[in-house]
A and B are shown apart, each in its own frame.
Chain A
Amino acid sequence: MIRLERRRAPSRIWSFLAPLAAVGATLVGGAVIFSLLGKNPFEVLTTIFWSPLFDPNLSAYARPQLLVKATPLILIAAGLSLGFRAGIWNIGAEGQYIVGAIFGGAVALAFYPEEGWYIFPLMVAAGALGGIAWAMIPAILRIRFNTNEILVSLMLVYIAVQFLAAMSLGALRNPEGSGFPGSRNLQYYESASNPELVAGTGIHWGGLTAVAALACLYVLLHRHILGFHIRLAGESPRAARFSGARPALLVAFCLGVSGGLAGLAGLFELAGPSGQISIDFNVGYGFTAIIVAFLGRLNPIGILFAGLLVALTYIGGEMAQFMLGLPAAAIQAFQGMLLFFLLAMDLFLNYRIVFGAGARA
């Protein structure tokens, strides 16, 4: 007979092994899916995971892209991990990302064509503010009316997408763009652009902010009473209340931080790699960051590696798209599978599998 026995404390070995095992299982699962679809699984997997990094013809383009794609993922995931630890589910980072970009972009376009050192910092502040404002809607509704923050934050994504469409067709449209939707391109507006800091690396201000965010997160979680309360609230809400945690404060803080970081991610993406506010500005980083947060075990260092790995699947997915004709969303199937396997592997983290009837009860 096979039984599950709860561990006293989560297994340390499994907290490292589980993500690796999940990645391995995803590779196998992906190979199965692709061969069922009549593709050569080996070819698909090398295109996704190997060529972006090591193919001599492709890596010059792909390697910098790795950091470009990992930056928003890590920024957003860092914020989300905080709430997920406390059992506060912000599923609407995609919307906060969009609104942050719109706020920051609007500041830049208001100054255009003036040049000045103060423009970019103002944009950054506006971007963070936009994300925070959007996240405060579910936060306030949850605190004041006890409304489910999962559904509200998610509905706000769809609203933000429509808002983005309205802005890129209306108020923020490029007046010299001969009627095409989309704003002016900030890459050509020096004071507002967020260029690559070291040529060929893909690092921009967002990357530095992401690293700083992870460092702050680490300090907060391990050295600050608020971080302690957040961790406690997730594991035992009752104990958290006895230790003096204020649930309303935790909700506002976790949603605010994740919203602010998502807004920053949107702003840095807008001013850097993307360049303009357009209908297809958002590409799902806000949702994928949820996977990054879990893959990184809600841990700052883990999130760093998880962000890089998931960024690799994005780039590999793009390559598979134009070299093998796979649809763009195939990579989502991959990412979803990764999260499935990861959650399944968590079993070993918290439980011990016991064989035979003689085990302790």
Chain B
Amino acid sequence: MDWSSLSPLSLIATMVVASIPIMLAATGELVVEKSGVLNLGVEGMMITGAVAGFIAAVESDSHVIAVIAAAAAGSAMSLFFGVLTQFLKSNHVATGLALTIFGLGVSSLVGQNYTGVKPPQFPKPEFGPLGDIPILGKIIFGYDYLVYVAFLTVLGVWLFLAYSRAGLILRAVGENHDAAHALGYKVKSVRLLAIMFGGAAAGLGGAYLSLIRVPQWTDGMTAGAGWIALAIVVFGSWRPWRVMAGALLFGGVTLLQLNLQAVGLEINAAYLSMAPYVITILVLVAISTKHSGMSANAPASLGKPFHPSS
């Protein structure tokens, strides 16, 4: 075995990169769930964002357009879910699954001619002398733009939910939609906006995979990342910073498993590839044992049907 390839510095840097897609998607889903909606279609929105961002980047050669296209595509997909669940009163679980299946199909249909194409390189911001600081330079100032966007999204969501009036309304809708409705808040509109934000964030997370992390387009490339994002929201007990920590932890596990494969540990690669999923299950069990029920912090109206009587 050769452990010398595992330098702690580059490990931390790649861990951050590995966690970004899940961090973005999970933060988006956090907002959706805080508004009382359970959207299981994260995987479908992510993969649509991945293909849309990829195509936009290849065709326009512009990163800004690629990012916008990914977010818009994810958001557009989430609108299907939003309209169906909010206005046509369909079952959240089934509709989310439909979204995932549909997204996987559509993305592969649209991305048919883009497999094997190389996307343009994503630029990194210049921090000048800051980037030359021995250790911090690499693990804080060495990333592409989207990494900073992801962390700013976490910060923004935290500020929004904890300190803004709109965030308070969103949480009220998620905790008790009947009371919020009685107070005159537009439950459906609030939820639709939350769903669209979740879609945009998931789309962005997908684009991070296809444009930066891999970077290539292959069918079904999200490989369950959307589902893991859903688990991370539970893991983070619906708190932005814990969701961020969960995503980083998960990025670390994924990375460790890849590195162990690279150093040639005497274990079949397939067993190592199971690790992220096994750990997700263990974490879910640990969380659900600690708080009886889903979690003490789960939005009270999560996934419950809303039908105002007047």
List A residues at the B interface (Cβ < 8 Å).
4, 6, 33, 37, 84, 89, 91, 137, 141, 145-148, 150-152, 154-156, 158-159, 162-163, 165-166, 169-170, 287-288, 290-291, 294, 326-337, 339-340, 343-344, 346-347, 350-351, 361
Contact = CB atoms under 8 A, between A and B. Distances in A.
Contacts of A337: 102
B101 A339 contact: yes
Give the 8 A-B residue pairs with the shortest CB-CB distance, closest first.
A336-B102, A333-B105, A332-B105, A329-B108, A166-B270, A339-B98, A343-B90, A336-B101
Interface centre among A89, A156, A163, A166 (most CB of B within 10 A): A166
Contacts of A334: 105
Contacts of A329: 104-105, 107-109, 219-220
17 contacts: A147-B284, A148-B284, A151-B227, A151-B280, A155-B224, A155-B277, A162-B270, A165-B273, A166-B270, A288-B101, A290-B101, A329-B220, A332-B105, A332-B108, A333-B109, A346-B91, A347-B88
B237 to A, nearest CB: 13
B90 A333 contact: no
Interface stretch (B29-37, B66-74, B288-296): B288-296
| Interface size bracket, B side | 35 or more
Contacts of A165: 270, 273
**Secondary structure type dominating chain B contacts:** helix
A355 B88 CA distance: 16
B271 interface: yes
A156 B90 contact: no
Nearest to A279: B270
Contacts of A335: 101-102, 105
Contacts of A331: 105
Interface in B251-310: 268, 270-271, 273-274, 277-278, 280-281, 284-285, 288-289, 292-294, 307, 310
A336 B281 contact: no
B160 interface: no
A70 B113 CA distance: 31
A87 to B, nearest CB: 9
B156 to A, nearest CB: 26
Contacts of B273: 162, 165
B80 interface: yes
Given A146-B294, A346-B90, 10 more contacts: A6-B307, A147-B281, A148-B284, A151-B230, A155-B277, A158-B277, A165-B270, A329-B219, A332-B102, A339-B94
A151 B262 CA distance: 29
A165 B307 CA distance: 47
Contacts of B285: 141, 145, 147
B97 A339 contact: yes
A181 B270 CA distance: 13
Contacts of A294: 94
A150 B89 CA distance: 21
Interface centre among A89, A170, A327, A330 (most CB of B within 10 A): A327
A159 B103 CA distance: 22
Contact of B288 (A33, A37, A147, A327): A147
B109 A163 contact: no
B40 interface: yes
Given A151-B230, A169-B268, A159 B105 contact: no
Contacts of B99: 336, 340
Most buried by A among B88, B234, B292, B293: B88
Contacts of B94: 84, 290, 294, 339, 343
